[in-house]
Amino acid sequence: MGRLLSVLALLLGEEFALPVIFVPEERIPRVLGRAGVLRHVRVEYRGDRFCIRRL
């Protein structure tokens, strides 16, 4: 259905290789997931805002 690839992302001044699956299906929304990101940063939710901190 989709292909697993790796993309480079810049977050908080650091570059990460993150896994991404591209699905050629129009009915599936384009959503950036959290796989690979949460082992590098912590996301804190504060009311209607969030904060990203390095681990």
Name the E strands within the chain: 3-11, 14-22, 41-46, 49-54
- pLDDT averaged over 10-residue windows placed end to end, the chain, 55 residues: 79 82 74 69 84 82
Predicted pLDDT at 19: 81
9 in Cβ contact with 15 (< 8 Å):
yes
Task: Give me the residue spans of the domains in the chain.
Answer: 3-54
Side-chain half-sphere of 49: how many Cα atoms within 13 Å?
A: 3
Q: What is the pTM of this model?
A: 0.46
Predicted pLDDT at 34: 66
Distance in angstroms (rounded) separating the CA atoms of residues 45 and 31: 19
